Amino acid sequence: MKPTSIEDFLRQAHQFYLPAVSIDNVIFGFHENQLKVLLLKSSDKNVWMLPGGFVGKKEHVDAAAARILKIRTGLDAIFLQQFYTFGQPERSNNRILVKALKSLTRKFDKNHWVLQRFVTVGYYALVEYANVNPHPDELSLACDWHDLDKLPELLLDHHEIILKALEEMRLKLNYQPIGYNLLPKEFTMKNLQSIYETLLGRKLDRGNFNRKMLSYGILDRKEKQFSGGAHKAPYLYSFNKKKYFKALEGGLGREF
């Protein structure tokens, strides 16, 4: 039906507009040469989920992502990167979500607003595994790292969201450095290479990786040495913070 006036138009539109915006955070960590993702265990004990929540009415979406991450996992002061907005209508009202929420309260209404349609903005972050201490909020039973290649059953489309985050990270590899937030202060070239290999899903030549990474000029080599392996001790490196962030801004390789 065509609106007959601007007031009509606005009134009609009001019936129609979308109610809510939510956040899902995909937090990656790196441990034992494995890329891991941080998940919350819902009160429905077999279902895990990304730490997510709703955006406040007067809140910057970026700020909401940070607030929600802190509330739900305890992680603070993490650099979150927006990567995609998920807008399928059917993703909101979901059997598993209903089940999970019903387990929280018997009086739960099937038409409750949290089950109505919402749009989710996805953020990811890379964190140094050893330096964070995730713990679940009151609504969750656990907050744990999971290997990317053996994820448990996940809420809604959270599996798809994780894959999309990975894909976006992989594309960024080509023009931005990575690793600053994933590795400890000092690390070996092999550690760094493992991250790249995990994200790209293929093996890289050791010598060539070395040469290329050093050519970026973002690494400082320490006066040796990592010890512990039954072999020649590798050099330790650290990121040159200044040069690293300059490369983040300006890009790495030649563009076009």
Interacting residue ranges for DNA, rule: CB under 7 A: 188-190, 205-208, 210-212, 215, 225, 227-235, 253-254
Residue nearer to a second copy on the CB measure, 180 or 226: 180
3-class SS of residue 20: strand
Cβ proximity to DNA: between 205 and 220 the closer is 205
Select the binding partner of residue 141 from a second copy, DNA, none (C-beta < 5 to 8 A, by kind): none
DSSP state of 107: T
Nearest approach, Cβ of 149 to DNA (angstroms)?
A: 20
- What is 218-241 written as a DSSP string? -EEE-S-----SSSPPPPPEEE-H
Q: How far apart are CB 216 and DNA at their closest, in Å?
A: 10
Q: Going along 132-240, which residue ranges are E strands?
A: 142-147, 219-221, 237-239
> C-alpha distances in angstroms, 131 versus 31, 79, 185, 215, 240?
11, 14, 11, 29, 19
Exposed e or buried b per residue across 103-133, where buried means at least 16 C-beta atoms within 10 angstroms of its C-beta:
eeeeeeeeeeeebeebbbbbbbbbbbbeebe
List, in order, residues 6 or more apart from 86 with CB less than 8 Å away: 24, 119, 120, 121, 122, 157, 160, 161, 164
DSSP-derived secondary structure letter, 151: -
Q: In angstroms, give the least distance from the CB of 107 to a second copy.
A: 7
Q: Binds 188, which of a second copy, DNA, none (CB < 5 to 8 A, cut-off by type)?
A: DNA
> With CB cut-offs between 5 and 8 Å by kind, which of a second copy, DNA, none does residue 235 bind?
DNA
Report the C-alpha gap between 60 and 90 in whole angstroms.
26
State in angstroms the smallest separation of the CB of 240 from DNA. Answer: 17
223 binds, among DNA, a second copy, none (CB under 5 to 8 A by kind): none
Instruction: Name the minimum Å distance from CB 234 to a second copy.
Output: 22
216 binds, among a second copy, DNA, none (CB under 5 to 8 A by kind): none
Q: Summarize as ranges the residues that interact with a second copy (CB under 8 A).
A: 5-7, 9-10, 13-14, 16-21, 54-62, 64, 82, 84-85, 87-89, 104-105, 107, 112-114, 116-117, 119, 121, 139, 170-171, 173-175, 196, 200, 204, 255-256
21 binds, among DNA, a second copy, none (CB under 5 to 8 A by kind): a second copy
CA gap 143, 153 in Å, rounded = 15
Shortest Cβ 212–DNA spacing (Å): 5
